[in-house]
């Protein structure tokens, strides 16, 4: 009769498989301490070979011995080369990450664009300020289009920029030329290639300015 895993003993650490668990169970039956120690060393060596890509992790070996102890239900009496992590600590759930509760006036623009607009308020006139204005204005236009195609209006973008900067940045729509929004759709590999290329180009250009003003690090 076939024996299903669902009817077998539950594995404490399934990632190592039932074969390793059987080795640990066998080590628990060994009465000679030296033989038990040699068996444990062999088991840990095999466990490490199962994950060679993790060998460079600083506490990799420590974790292996912790896992050996856990698989033996902390009953394996050997000389551990490390202080074994208590069971409660080993299985403790990580603390939930705090969600950034930043207030955003218009969510379709996002926090990063709002931060750049605040930066513009205090910048002196010059080529860098002009480049940042162009970057922000075109991204705002694209974001507005993505959010509401029918409501996208360049005058709306100009008004929002003036609102965010307390009137310090005023776009002259007769002189300022927005980039076209990306609306054309292609099929197949050509569309994918163009999207990737446009994304990479925008990312490189944006990163130069974001790096310059400390929003990202190199």
Q: Give tens-digit pLDDT for 44-88.
A: 999 999 988 888 888 899 999 999 999 999 999 999 999 998 888
- Extract the tokens encoding 118: 């605040």
Averaged pLDDT, 112-125: 87
Q: What percent of the chain has pLDDT over 70?
A: 81
What's phi and psi for 81, nearest 5 deg? -75, -10
Question: How many angstroms separate the CA atoms of 162 and 146, rounded?
Answer: 21
Instruction: Identify the burial level of 100 via C-beta atoms within 10 angstroms of its C-beta, where 0-12 means exposed, 13-18 middle and 19 or more buried.
Output: exposed
Query: H or E element: which one contains 131?
Result: helix 127-147
Would you list the domain boundaries of the chain? 8-90, 110-212
Best CA proximity match to 27, nearest among 46, 8, 14: 46
Calculate the CA 11 to chain-centre distance.
30
Give DSSP secondary structure letters for 75-97: ---S--SSPPPPHHHHTPPPPPP
Euclidean distance between CA atoms 107 and 105, whole angstroms: 6
Q: Which residue has the higher pLDDT, 139 or 5?
A: 139
């Amino acid at each position: 009769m076939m024996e299903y895993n669902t009817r077998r003993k539950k594995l404490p650490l399934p990632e190592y498989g039932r074969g390793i668990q059987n080795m640990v169970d066998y080590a628990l039956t060994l009465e000679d301490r030296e033989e038990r120690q040699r068996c444990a060393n062999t088991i840990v060596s095999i466990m490490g070979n199962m994950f060679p890509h993790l060998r460079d992790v600083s506490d990799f070996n420590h974790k292996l011995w912790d896992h050996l102890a856990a698989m033996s239900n902390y009953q394996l009496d050997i000389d551990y080369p490390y202080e074994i992590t208590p069971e409660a600590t080993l299985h403790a759930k990580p603390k939930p990450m705090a969600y950034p509760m930043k207030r955003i006036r218009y969510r379709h623009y996002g926090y990063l664009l709002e931060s750049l607009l605040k930066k513009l308020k205090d910048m002196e006139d010059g080529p860098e300020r002009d480049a940042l204005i162009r970057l922000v204005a075109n991204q705002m236009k694209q974001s507005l289009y993505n959010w509401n195609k029918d409501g996208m209006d360049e005058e709306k973008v100009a008004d929002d920029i003036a609102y965010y900067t307390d009137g310090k940045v005023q776009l002259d729509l007769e002189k300022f030329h927005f980039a076209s929004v990306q609306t054309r759709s292609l099929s197949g590999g050509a569309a994918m290639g163009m999207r990737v290329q446009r994304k990479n180009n925008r990312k490189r250009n944006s990163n130069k300015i974001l790096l310059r003003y400390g929003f990202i690090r190199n």
